[in-house]
Amino acid sequence: MSIILGLSSTISIIISAAVSIVYTLLGGGLSYQALYQRILSAASSVQAQISCFAAALTVFIMGIPSVVIGVMASAADWNQTAYGLPPPFERGDAGKILPLALQHLTPTWVSVLGIGSVAAAVMSSMDSALLSSASMFTQNIYKTTLRKTASETELQWVIRIGVLVVGLAGTGLAFGDDSVFALWVLSGDLLYCVIFPQLLCVLHFQRANTYGAFSGFVVGLLLRGLSGEPILGIPPVLLYPGWREENNVIRQYFPYRTIAMLFSVVSILAVSCLLNLIFEHELIPQSWDFLQVFKDKNETEEDEPCLLTKQTSFKLEECPLPSNFLHLFCFKLRSQ
């Protein structure tokens, strides 16, 4: 937008953010996790595996046009265009090479179609990201933890406010750096340090609970933030071995991201196991379980004998048995 329409970078970011937020509020994509949607909707595990391998190959093929455009722009004689010399790479406009190439190296109709296609793709991705972020916060945090009795109307308003907040946050990040790729790498960085430990513990450790997940989230995010981030202009507080100062910017070559991820995993498991031990032995009152994690767990365990007896070939009301025998019988069924 700043290149084609001649607008300033600030005005372009504000217009793009406003259009994305309004478009999302009026209706848009269902979810940003397109890969997980396809996998979970597969008819069989074999089809899901084939989809994953096909997607990996397709992503590689779809990346070829981007490489071709970059090579052509690098080899082009920009002195024969209205852009002139020096070329974009020497001016620091390498991140804008696609719109520059479309504007100066292609016919007008190709430039219009190309920019329109890119704008539509970006709008779709932004809409899906905003809506999925607000939806996940509403369903997984607000409704599950903060207000379990929230009405549908209240949840809809929370989603709308969430879209607005996430959109404004994205707008603020866009002002901080001109490289979309850098912001994309930063998002993957946060996923690795904060979200990956949560997924790992949920899938492979049965004792992981909400308290452990919250502590792991805080620890991972805190360690990652204290390690600094040049993209956001955050100076490092924790200096790991091997750090260097380059152009008045401290860069760390120690695997601090992996350290944050591992500490997050350890925090999740340690807090989860500790609270499991405390509440199982009733070392503190059950009323202190303000997230009702162990209350729901106990209710589930109490419902299991009823579910087990429905699978047997006789009716308990026809065979009066002591309650202690029933628990022993359920234990035998579980062990089998």
Say what the pLDDT of residue 334 is.
40
Average pLDDT, the chain: 75
Instruction: Please tell me which residue, 49 or 269, carries the higher pLDDT value.
Output: 269
Give yes or no for residue 22 having a pLDDT over 80: no
Q: Comparing 153 with 126, which gets the higher pLDDT?
A: 153
Q: Contact 70/96 with Cβ under 8 angstroms?
A: no
DSSP 286: G
The per-residue pLDDT for 318 is: 40
Total-model pTM: 0.56
Cis peptide leading into residue 236 (ω within 30°): no
Q: What is the pLDDT of residue 322?
A: 41
Q: For residues 208 and 32, which has the higher predicted lDDT (pLDDT)?
A: 208
- Residue 136: the pLDDT is 81
Average pLDDT value for residue range 63-86: 85
Q: Give the whole-number percent of the chain exceeding pLDDT 90.
A: 10
When pLDDT is cut at 50, 70 and 90, the band that residue 291 belongs to is: confident
Q: Which long-range contacts (CB under 8 A, 24 or more apart) does 325-331 make?
A: 330/304, 330/305
Buried b (16+ CB within 10 A) or exposed e, 177-212: beeeebbeebeeebebbbeebbebbeeeeeebbbbb
Q: Is the pLDDT of residue 27 over 50?
A: no
Most confident residue range from 31-45, 104-118, 181-195: 104-118
Region 115-119: mean pLDDT is: 83
Kindly list the distances between the CA atom of residue 289 and the CA atoms of 212, 244, 280, in Å, as whole numbers in the listed order: 13, 46, 12
pLDDT of residue 239: 87
If you average pLDDT over residues 22-39, what whole number do you get?
Answer: 51
- pLDDT for 131 equals 81
The answer, yes or no, to whether residue 277 has pLDDT greater than 80, is yes
The C-alpha atoms of residue 7 and residue 14 are separated, in whole angstroms, by 11
- CA separation for the pair 13, 175 (Å, rounded): 7
Q: What is the dihedral of CA 184, 186, 191, 197, to 10 degrees?
A: 160
For residue 222, what pLDDT band results from cuts at 50, 70 and 90?
Answer: very high
| The pLDDT of residue 319 is above 50 | no
Of the given ranges (112-116, 162-166, 296-300), which has the lowest mean pLDDT?
296-300
The residue with greater pLDDT, 294 or 223, is: 223
Kindly state the percentage of the chain with pLDDT values over 70: 74
> How much is the average pLDDT of 194-222?
88
Whether 120 shows a pLDDT value over 70: the answer reads yes
d(CA 317, CA 62): 65
Q: State the pLDDT at residue 219.
A: 94
Token match 């979309």: residue? 180
Average pLDDT over residues 146-160: 88
On the question of pLDDT at 329 being above 60, the answer is: no
Whole-number pLDDT of residue 320: 44
